[in-house]
Amino acid sequence: MAELRSLECPSCGAPLKFQEGQGLIICKFCGDTIQLTQPQAPPQPREPDAPHPVVSIQQTPTFTPRPMPQTAARPQPKSSGLAGCGCAMLITLATFLFVGGILLFTGAIPLPADLQQSLQGVIPINMVVFSGAMLTPSADDALPEVVTLAQNNSSSDLDRMMVKIGPDGKMVWRAEKLAKDSAYLYTNHLTSAEGLVYVAIGDKLFAYQLSDGTTLWQASLSDSLYPSCVSCIQVFDGYVVVASTDSIVQGFDAQTGEDLWSRDLQASVYDVYRMGGQPAVLDEDDDGSALFFLDPATGEVTRRLTSTCTSADDFYSSELDYYGTTFFYDEPTEALYLIFGTFEGCVQRWSLSADTPDWDAHITSDEGFSSSYLITPLMDGDTLYLSAANGRLWAFDTTTGDRRTLLAEEDTGLVVIGALEGVAVVQVVETRGTYEYALWGVDSASGEVLWKVNLDEAQPLLETDTASGILSSGESAWTARVMTDGILLLQARSDPHQLVLQLLDIRAGTPNTETVIPLNRLNQDSFYSMSVIKWRGNRAWLLVDNHIYRLNTATAEVEYIWP
């Protein structure tokens, strides 16, 4: 097996792994392309203790013409003037076709949508997924398309452009190429509505026609978007609202890109939330922290919602705090849940039209509440689960606010990922010593742990476009999803590179089925990257070494790989 070497990415500082003789690396974290070259020297036997080759970093690949060998002149046969003219015409035509082919090949000349579609599979463009991927809206019985930022490795400038992949795994269109300095694209920086795709790359916002990839407009943002934002770009009935890293929220006309308004926030706000069809931000003003509802057309505040958490003995009280508040909006019931507090925690349910909460439940610090730990909400029917990074799991009745404490574990972090048939499925990480992961099945009424599936040091894959799992020799990663017939556990393994699908019984945690899917296209002697783009129904869209895999979990079949 070739020896793995390493260096740091010059753009983001992330570790890069490469093998001796490898010429090109794409950073799995920021997407930068690094060309590796070795100094030219006469070939000599390498000593066992010879140092690693010197690695230089270049912005673009270099090409040095090789001189043609000198040969003696040969007598040429005589030709008529007509024949010479014909050769000149042929040479001119060949040159024209060659240059034109290169321009089309590299994307320097954008192709009409209908011509692009007819040439799919004819023009051999060496595309890879550079970063960012989004599933398009689709009917329940229709497979979605994928929009992503691709890179053409065939071009000398490594051109980047947005592309759309159809349900059959073929490229439907590729948009005009972006500027050479186009930044990395994150999945949460894309959204789609009313036949358009909105993409934020760096400090630019683009709108593309979803049908053919035509660029409808381009607008300037006050700053780039926060990389790990959850909902920093939203569309509201003809308006696009974007929150940038500099805590400025802007509103644009969705059809024309006109910059309609800008609002400078006091707190570090990176997300815009959709509540009751309106944009909302958690911000501060002179009166304290509050949830501000905005008019998407003007940016004006239409409502300011705040609250106070008072302890059961009326001794302590704390206001809604920007830095220590978790909130969750349940769109089907149009109910807002606020989780906040300092000395004592409050969980409140609000109707958006009300001036007071529907109910107010309390959790004391002795019972494990702390705003310092991440709290993750999950709604399942009439139960609201709150799981915390300090080993607590609570269940609230959404009608009455009655609370049950299900788990209180030390040295663990909990995230509930789903529930089925009265069993809450919890992702567990043991934080004492080396982090070790597991899945637990917890009875949602009593809190009894029904089963445990140990995953050891294998880390969970995130639902993102970035390489959340980089698997070297012997390493593995996993993701789990609660389905209607059990728990789907998907593991990515190395040596050999493969996916392992297991359907776990919800009551016992034992596998009812197990299928191994070889990843034969990967270099088995090298590491590979893996992340989950999105789940929808019984299908998962995966990003594996800059290629999109659509996996049908019901049939355990990879339905397509692009490119």
Sign of the Cα torsion 444, 447, 453, 456 reads positive
Reported as half-sphere exposure (CB side, CA atoms, 13 A), residue 439 has a value of 30
User: Which residues lie closer than 8 Å to 552 by C-beta, 6 or more apart?
Assistant: 538, 539, 558, 559
User: Is residue 363 within 8 Å of residue 369, measured between CB atoms?
Assistant: yes
Tokens 């034109």, residue located: 100
CA angle 398, 419, 462 (to 5 degrees): 110
Can you point out the beta strands (E) in 136-170?
146-152, 160-165
pLDDT of residue 138: 85
Burial of 147 (0-12, 13-18, 19+ CB in 10 A): buried
**Distance between CA atoms of residues 243 and 250, nearest Å:** 7
**Over its length of 563 residues, how does the chain's per-residue pLDDT go in tens digits?**
444 455 666 655 555 665 555 555 666 555 555 655 444 444 444 333 333 333 322 333 332 333 333 333 334 434 444 344 455 555 555 555 555 555 544 444 545 545 544 444 444 468 889 888 999 988 877 899 999 999 888 777 788 999 999 999 999 999 998 887 677 888 889 999 999 999 999 999 999 999 999 999 999 999 999 988 889 999 999 999 999 999 999 999 999 999 999 999 998 888 999 999 999 999 999 988 899 999 999 999 999 999 988 877 777 788 888 778 888 999 999 999 999 988 788 999 999 888 899 999 999 888 988 887 889 999 999 999 999 999 999 999 999 999 999 999 999 999 999 999 999 999 999 988 888 999 999 999 999 999 999 998 888 886 654 445 678 888 889 999 999 999 999 999 988 999 999 999 999 999 999 999 999 998 888 888 888 999 999 999 999 988 999 999 999 999 999 99
pLDDT of residue 149: 92
Using the 8-state DSSP alphabet, how is residue 106 labeled? Answer: H
User: Is residue 485 within 8 Å of residue 503, measured between CB atoms?
Assistant: yes
pLDDT of residue 92: 56
pTM above 0.85, yes or no: no
**Distance between CA atoms of residues 331 and 559, nearest Å:** 33
**Distance between CA atoms of residues 30 and 35, nearest Å:** 15
pLDDT of residue 460: 87
Write out the residue limits of the CATH 2.20.28 domain(s) in the chain. Answer: 1-42+54-61
Q: Does domain 1-42+54-61 have CATH number 2.20.28?
A: yes
User: Is residue 104 within 8 Å of residue 510, measured between CB atoms?
Assistant: no
Region of 373 (left: φ > 0; alpha: ψ -120 to 50; beta: rest) is: beta
Exposure string over 451-463, b if 16+ CB within 10 A, otherwise e = bebebeebbbbeb
